[in-house]
Every structure is written in structure tokens, then in C-alpha cells.
């Protein structure tokens, strides 16, 4: 999976991910159980458009070797050096059997002094 944050948001020191598995039965509200977690590594730079024209970005990546085919709630959290939460996003994803899953998330973190507007 990968995430993209504005390069101006220099306060972002790490991106943490948590993938929680839905252990509810059909028809019930989701009951999330944390299953995979860790951090994305800074992988490079890029360009993207958060809505105000193309800006430089930093890209973060991580690979989970094998994940059970199931419905997951993915939480990505951008953290400062002091572990302060700078921005975050949640996304439900379905991992299907025998297929590689690739998840790319655009995170427009609006941070004082930097980030997307």
C-alpha cells in the first residue's frame, strides 16, 4: 500500500497503518479486530494535485506479504516526531482470494505552515 502527502507538510515524520478485520456476521454492523499494523516507509517523491494545482508530494510505501481474504478497515495516520496525529484517513477495503491488493491513498494534510489547502 502507499500514501501520498504534500511535500510541504514536513512535520509528517511517519505514516502508521492499521488494518482491522471485520468479524461481524452478515447483516450486523462491522466489528473491527486489529489484524495488521506497522509503518509505511518513505519511498520517494512525486507530484499530485490536491485541488489547487500540481504540488510536490512525498510517497510512503509498505508491503504486507500475505493477508487473509476478507473485508478490512484500513486506517492511515500521519504522525509528527512527537507522535502527534497530524492527519488521518480510514478506508474499507476488500481483499479477494488469489489476487494482489494494491491500495494507494492521497492524503491532503492541511498543516499550519504547509500542506494542501
Partner 1 sequence: MTGIARVCSALLTGALTLVIACGDTGSEPNWTAVTVFMPSPPNATGDWDLPEQALSLEYILACGPDSDGSFGDAVPIEGTLEQKEAFQVGLHGPTRVWRGEIDFEPGPCMIQLRARDSDEEVICSYSEPVSFDPARDAEAYFNMVCFATCPTVPLPGFEASPKTFCAPIGGLIVSAETPAAVPGVQGVRYVVTGGQGFLDNQAPSLPVYEGALQRRGDGTANLGNGPVETSVWEGVAGEILANEIHTVEVTAIDAEGEPLCSAETSIEVFSGAIAHSHLILSCGD
The span of 21-29, 32-40, 47-55 binding partner 1 (CB under 8 A) equals 47-55
Dihedral over Cα of 101, 39, 42, 48: its sign: positive
Q: In the structure grid, which three cell numbers stand for residue 70, read together?
A: 476478507
Q: Does 66 bind partner 1 (CB under 8 A)?
A: no
Residue among 67, 65, 88 at smallest CA distance from 76: 88
Q: Does 82 bind partner 1 (CB under 8 A)?
A: no
The span of 15-23, 32-40, 79-87 binding partner 1 (CB under 8 A) equals 79-87
Q: Does 7 bind partner 1 (CB under 8 A)?
A: no
Q: Is the distance from CB of 74 to CB of 1 less than 8 angstroms?
A: yes
Which long-range contacts does 83-89 make (Cβ < 8 Å, 24+ apart)? 86/9, 86/11, 86/12, 86/111, 87/5, 87/111
Which x/- pattern, by CB under 8 A, does the window 12-41 give for partner 1? Answer: ------------------------------
Binding site for partner 1 (CB under 8 A): 4, 9, 46, 48-51, 54, 85-91, 93, 96, 99-111, 115-117
Amino acid at each position: 500500500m502507499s500514501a501520498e502527502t504534500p511535500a510541504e507538510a514536513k512535520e509528517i515524520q511517519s505514516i502508521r497503518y492499521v488494518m482491522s478485520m471485520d468479524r461481524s456476521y452478515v447483516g450486523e454492523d462491522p466489528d473491527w479486530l486489529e489484524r495488521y499494523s506497522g509503518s509505511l516507509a518513505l519511498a520517494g517523491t512525486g507530484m499530485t494535485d490536491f485541488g489547487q494545482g500540481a504540488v510536490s508530494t512525498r510517497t510512503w510505501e509498505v508491503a504486507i506479504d500475505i493477508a487473509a481474504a476478507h473485508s478490512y478497515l484500513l486506517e492511515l495516520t500521519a504522525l509528527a516526531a512527537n507522535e502527534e496525529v497530524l492527519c488521518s484517513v480510514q478506508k474499507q477495503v476488500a481483499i479477494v482470494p488469489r489476487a494482489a491488493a494494491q491500495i494507494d491513498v492521497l492524503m491532503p494534510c492541511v498543516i499550519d505552515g504547509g500542506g494542501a489547502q
